[in-house]
Structure 1
Amino acid sequence: MRTLHIPVKSTVPIILTEDIISRLPNKIALVMPVQHIHKRDEVIAQLHRAGKEVVLPQGYHTRHDGQVLGCDQAEGHGIDADAYLCV
């Protein structure tokens, strides 16, 4: 059976509050589903402004760095980061 994946873009703004950012360690692996991937750079900019270092895992089954596919979290394993932030 063939599968067709159709990316749908979320229109909800992704705003990380100061409270959220203050709880994060310095080095963060950022992952998100395809619905939010077009806002990835905005999230990275928010984290950089707060002095955080961001790494994007390269997916095995995904098109974009930092993207997770469904509940497959394999993209995040083996990344040198203090925490994972899943949007």
Structure 2
Amino acid sequence: MTHTHTQNEQSLNIVGSVFIRLDDKAREDLFWIRHGQWRNVSLYIKGIVDEEQRRNQTFPSIFVMTDDVLLMKSIQDYANSPPIGADELYTKQYLRE
């Protein structure tokens, strides 16, 4: 059986998603090669916001998948920390839902 809606009838077709693979990708990632660290969580969220603008739609939820426990904790912390500016308010609302 394929589920195309959540329990509250939101369509799963409009859920934003991001797959952040870190552990085995360091040697291939240009950002890591240049800076010796991973991107800030806000850059991943900005990518989702940019995609929303490109499609002219808002994702009601964002699904995050990663192979890194610390990154997932960072995303959760980012979603629950006080916003610094208007853009962060906009992006953080998605991570809290």
TM-score bracket relative to the smaller structure: 0.3 to 0.5
Higher relative contact order (CA 8 A, sep 6+): 1
